């Protein structure tokens, strides 16, 4: 996220790409880790910062993952913070 905010988009994309692939692979095999969707959503958010052309779709996917968390997790402070970051990024992307 820091690289993208510094305008170093290609470097940011190279950094987050393997992380995003890793979390997508984990998610495909997930059998009950309730926090994994949040980790994937955070990686999608970072990818959205690094790939402005794809940001709307990435942010939509990230928001959907957070919205799909259990009601108990959605009330956790960290989850609410990520949801707000994603919401603000979506508003800025319009």
44-90 per-position pLDDT tens digit: 999 999 999 999 999 999 999 999 999 999 999 999 999 999 999 99
pLDDT value of residue 94? 56
pLDDT value of residue 92? 87
pLDDT value of residue 65? 97
Domain ranges across the chain? 2-93
SS3 for the chain, per residue?
CHHHHCCCHHHHHHHHHHHHHHHHHHHHCCCCCCCHHHHHHHHHHHHHHHCHHHHHHHHHHHHHHHHCCCHHHHCCHHHHHHHHHHHHHHHHHC
Percent of the chain with pLDDT over 90: 95
Q: Average model confidence (pLDDT) for the chain?
A: 94
């Amino acid at each position: 996220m820091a690289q993208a905010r510094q305008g170093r988009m290609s470097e940011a994309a190279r950094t987050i790409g393997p992380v995003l692939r890793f979390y997508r692979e984990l998610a495909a095999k997930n059998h009950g880790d309730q926090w994994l969707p949040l980790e994937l959503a955070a990686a999608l958010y970072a990818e959205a910062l690094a790939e402005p052309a794809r940001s709307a779709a990435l942010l939509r996917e990230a928001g959907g993952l957070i919205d799909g968390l259990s009601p108990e997790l959605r009330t956790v402070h960290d989850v609410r913070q990520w949801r707000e970051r994603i919401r603000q990024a979506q508003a800025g992307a319009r």
